[in-house]
Chains A and B, each alone.
Chain A
Amino acid sequence: MSRVTLLALQILVAIVCIVLWQLLSTFPIFGKILLPPFFFSNPVDVFDQIVKWFVSGVIWKHLWITLVESLLAFVIGSLGGVLVGFWFARQPLVAAVFDPYVKMVNALPRVVLAPIFALWLGLGIWSKVALGVTLVFFIVFFNVYQGVKEVSRTVLDNGRMLGMSEGQLMRHVYWPSALSWMFSSLHTSVGFAVVGAVVGEYLGSAAGLGYLIQQAEGVFDVAGVFAGMFVLSAFVILIDYGVTLVERRLLVWRPTVDGRG
């Protein structure tokens, strides 16, 4: 199938859904409106709301806040994950001692941490960043840990036989291997950074997309809720596209560049 046909079909799906939504929420069928506007709003109102946000410019502030929170969560969580993952993989004793605690913390649904973070760090961006970090950290940590531990025995022996010192092995073998594992989870970890930010905002904040949705919901403004969701998905898709570009650049040496882990 050519790209054009594919794109046309993809757009067609969207059009069908939106038209159905509009029809079912405005015209009664057998004397009954299947999608009552109070619960489902309608595409025109939702679109209106989005346009209003962008024209008045209110949305930019919220987008910016969510973006900053996500990026900070991603960077801090990744850095921590890489460092601790490396440390644990190279020090089996440390890994063994901390193993039950790592599992315990990871098993915890992060949402329950949100109130604590809000208490500790206030309602500003840092409580959201903290929530995102707890999500991103573990994904990156597990991947790097695995990546360092599963460096091929042969490649390692080859490095040694070529005369590499411990430091050179670190730089030429462990590090690239760990990074490649981290990058293979890039989509997941970036996604979770956004989830952390938005959920945090939703549970208590004064700005951000999550706050916007929560506000609309608070006054039964269903159009606002849907508008917020659409802006959020567009935002995530854009970020995901950025990640794909980065990944293509960084993982050229991989057999499956498009493989998502």
Chain B
Amino acid sequence: MTTPTAVALEDAKVAFRLGDGRVYTAVEKAHLAVAQGEFVAIVGPTGCGKSTLLNVAAGLLKPAAGGVKIFDRPLAGLNRDAGYLFQADALFPWKTALDNVAIGLEIKGMPRAEALPQAQKWLTSVGLGAFANRYPHMLSGGQRKRVALAQVLIRDPKILLMDEPFGPLDAQTRQVMGNLLLDLWNADRKAVLFVTHDLEEAIALADRVVIMSAGPSSRIIGDWRVQLVRPRDIFEVRMDKEFHALHREIWSVLKDEVMKGYAQSSHAAEAV
């Protein structure tokens, strides 16, 4: 295989120093490689540190041990090849939808007059062509996610990092957004690292599904290849026999971790 590796986590360990001086290990020795053009989903129970791992790949967080390589080069500082789609609202509330998208180009030094038409084009391609002059608070949660997607994609990053981007949306909107994401991704197949707690979403979108154990000190405990044909339709793919078989297989592993995760969080609650 000659496909280059876009993101490589090499035994990355993530630890935080707690207020009382103890060290909390969120992720233990994570080893994961995302090839160029590959869509990898990370699934795990709440609190397993999957978002932490994504922040490491983004360069927002330094691993306590191990390393991160982006296109075979060790990552120092922020990951300039990556676009990051956040779970929470990350749009600039004082900019219109159009300005929010155009800013990605303006930062690079492109004149505003040049950036605006491109931003309008991207807004149209996420289905918000008519909403250019709205401020984020005038948009629905799903529309804000679309703007955020356009904001990230207009910079044409080689890698997409997504932290439960559709988490706060309702079930139908999530599926529509999933299809939109797949359509846009199909156009140029960037490397994607997609964090979610929703196994169905992960299988429907990704080429590979990676499962993490319950935290603390969570590890990667499983890695499945999703062979479903592309292009996929999220609504259709869920009816597929293969989808069900894979879902059952992965869930049998994930279920135990989810239970452990719950047990731990309730113990923690008792301790308090």
| Interface positions of A (Cβ within 8 A of B) | 152, 154-155, 157-164, 168, 172-173, 176-177, 180, 252-255
Given A162-B104, A162-B107, A253-B137, decide whether A154 and B92 contact each other with a Cβ distance below 8 A. no
Q: In the complex, what distance in Å separates the CA atom of A172 from the CA atom of B155?
A: 17
Q: How far is the CB of B94 from chain A (nearest CB, A)?
A: 4
One of B24-32, B38-46, B81-89, B249-257 at the interface: B81-89
Decide if B196 is an interface residue (CB 8 Å cutoff): no
Q: A155-B89, A172-B103 are in contact. List 6 more A-B contacts (CB 8 A).
A: A154-B90, A155-B92, A162-B104, A163-B107, A163-B108, A253-B95
Of the candidates A154, A160, A177, A254, the one whose C-beta lies within 8 Å of that of B88 is: A154
Interface residues of chain A: helix, strand, loop or mixed (majority):
helix
Residue of A157, A176, A252 ringed by the most chain B CB atoms within 10 A: A157
- Select one of B79, B136, B137, B155 contacting A162, CB under 8 A: B155
B185 at the A interface (CB under 8 A): no
A181 to chain B, nearest CB (A): 12
- Check if A161 sits within 8 Å of B107, measured CB to CB: no
Chain B residue, CB-CB nearest to A180: B94
- Taking a contact as CB atoms under 8 Å apart, the answer to whether A173 and B78 are in contact is no
Contacts of B95 in A (CB 8 A): 172, 253
Partner of A158, one of B80, B82, B84: B84
A137 to B189, CA, bound (A): 54
- Interface set of B (CB-CB < 8 Å, partner A): 58, 60, 78-80, 82-84, 86, 88-96, 103-104, 107-108, 135-137, 151-152, 155
The 3 closest A-B pairs by CB, nearest first: A158-B90, A253-B135, A161-B84
Q: B77's closest neighbor in chain A, by CB? A: A160
User: Which of A163, A168, A173, A255 gathers the greatest number of chain B CB atoms within 10 Å?
Assistant: A163
B89 x A154 contact (CB < 8 A) = yes
Q: B92's contact among A157, A160, A163, A173, by CB below 8 Å, is which?
A: A173
Q: How far is the CA of A255 from the CA of B104 in the complex (A)?
A: 24
Can you name the residue of chain B whose Cβ is closest to the Cβ of A169?
Answer: B107
Distance in Å: Cβ of A254 to nearest Cβ of chain B:
7
User: What residues on A are CB-neighbors of B108 within 8 Å?
Assistant: 163
Question: Within the complex, what minimum Cβ distance (angstroms) separates B193 from chain A?
Answer: 13
Interchain Cβ contacts within 8 Å, total number: 63
Closest A residue to B154 by CB, please name it.
A162
A161–B157 Cα distance when bound, in Å, is 11
Nearest A residue to B83 via CB reads A161
Residues of A within 8 A of B60 (CB): 157, 160-161
Which residues in A have their C-beta under 8 angstroms from that of B83?
161
Q: Which residues of A contact B107 (CB under 8 A)?
A: 162-164, 168
Q: How far is the CB of B111 from the nearest CB of chain A, in Å?
A: 15
Query: Would A254 and B137 count as touching, CB distance under 8 A?
Result: yes
Are A157 and B137 in contact (CB-based, < 8 A)?
A: no
A158 and B86: CB pair below 8 A?
Answer: yes
Q: Which of A157, A177, A252 is within 8 Å of B135, CB to CB?
A: A252
Q: How far is the CA of A172 from the CA of B93 in the complex (A)?
A: 11
A76 to B83, CA, bound (A): 42
Contact of B94 among A157, A160, A253 (CB under 8 A): A253
User: When chains A and B are docked, how far (Å) is the Cα of A168 from the Cα of B82?
Assistant: 19
Q: Which residue of B lies closest to A168 (CB)?
A: B107
Is A255's CB under 8 angstroms from B137's CB? yes
Question: How far in angstroms is the closest Cβ of chain B from A52?
Answer: 49
B82 pairs with A161, CB closer than 8 A: yes
Contact B103 A161 (CB under 8 A): no
Minimum CB–CB distance for B116 against chain A, Å = 16
Complex Cα–Cα for A172 and B60 (A): 19
Contacts of A162 in B (CB 8 A): 103-104, 107, 151-152, 155
B89 to chain A, nearest CB (A): 7
- A256 — nearest CB in chain B belongs to which residue? B137
Contacts A176-B92, A176-B94 given; does A160 touch B78 at CB 8 Å: yes
A162 to B85, CA, bound (A): 10
